[in-house]
């Protein structure tokens, strides 16, 4: 049986490839989606990749994940640093949730050094470009296999 995994992306991630390529790389959002779905298939996941610039929509998706016991790879984008509503929704998780960032926040502006999500996530992967998503999906697969639900 294939397990559904949500890959949730916050503000401006839909602009990958054109937004600050020196920071976020040249891969387009469509390329990110393809990468996640292809690896997900290899790992036995049905990967549902979503992107929103709306905090309320992100919160609703996190509620959906909690209610459905769905594992999540979450790139909150700018919500990482200040969205307590999103953090509280992520804290309700009923399956693993891995926070992911394309860049390494600690090598960037001071305000990016704080994540309100990290304390409620299973783990965080950052700084490996689009590879951060691949690492997060592999970590999910290992975590799910370890707890007997994968």
Catalytic residue numbers? 24, 101
Handedness of CA 131, 137, 140, 145 (dihedral sign): negative
The three-state (H, E, C) secondary structure of 73-121, written as one string: EEECHHHHHCCHHHHHHHCCCCCCEEEEECCCHHHCCHHHHCCCCHHHC
Determine if residue 83 is labeled as part of a ligand binding site: no
In our burial notation (b when 16+ CB lie closer than 10 A, e otherwise), range 9-30 reads: bbbebbebeeeeeeebbebebe
Determine if residue 102 is labeled as part of a ligand binding site: yes
> 116, 87 in Cβ contact below 8 A?
yes
Q: Which residues pair with 72 in a beta bridge?
A: 6, 97
Determine if residue 98 is labeled as part of a ligand binding site: no
Determine if residue 112 is labeled as part of a ligand binding site: yes
> Per the annotation, where are the binding residues for substrate?
75, 81, 88, 102-103, 112
> Per the annotation, where are the binding residues?
75, 81, 88, 102-103, 112
């Amino acid at each position: 049986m294939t397990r559904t995994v949500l890959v949730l992306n916050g503000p401006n991630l839909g602009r990958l490839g054109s937004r600050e390529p020196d920071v976020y790389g040249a891969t387009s959002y469509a390329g990110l989606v393809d990468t996640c779905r292809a690896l997900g298939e290899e790992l036995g996941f049905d990967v549902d990749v979503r992107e929103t610039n709306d905090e309320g929509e992100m919160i609703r998706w996190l509620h959906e994940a909690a209610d459905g016991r769905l594992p999540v790879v979450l790139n909150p984008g700018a919500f990482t640093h200040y969205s307590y509503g999103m953090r509280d929704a992520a804290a309700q998780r009923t399956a693993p949730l891995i926070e992911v960032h394309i860049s390494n926040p600690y090598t960037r502006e001071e305000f990016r050094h704080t994540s309100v999500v990290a304390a409620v996530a299973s783990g965080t992967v950052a700084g490996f470009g689009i590879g951060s998503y691949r690492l997060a999906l592999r970590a999910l697969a290992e975590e799910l296999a370890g707890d007997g639900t994968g």
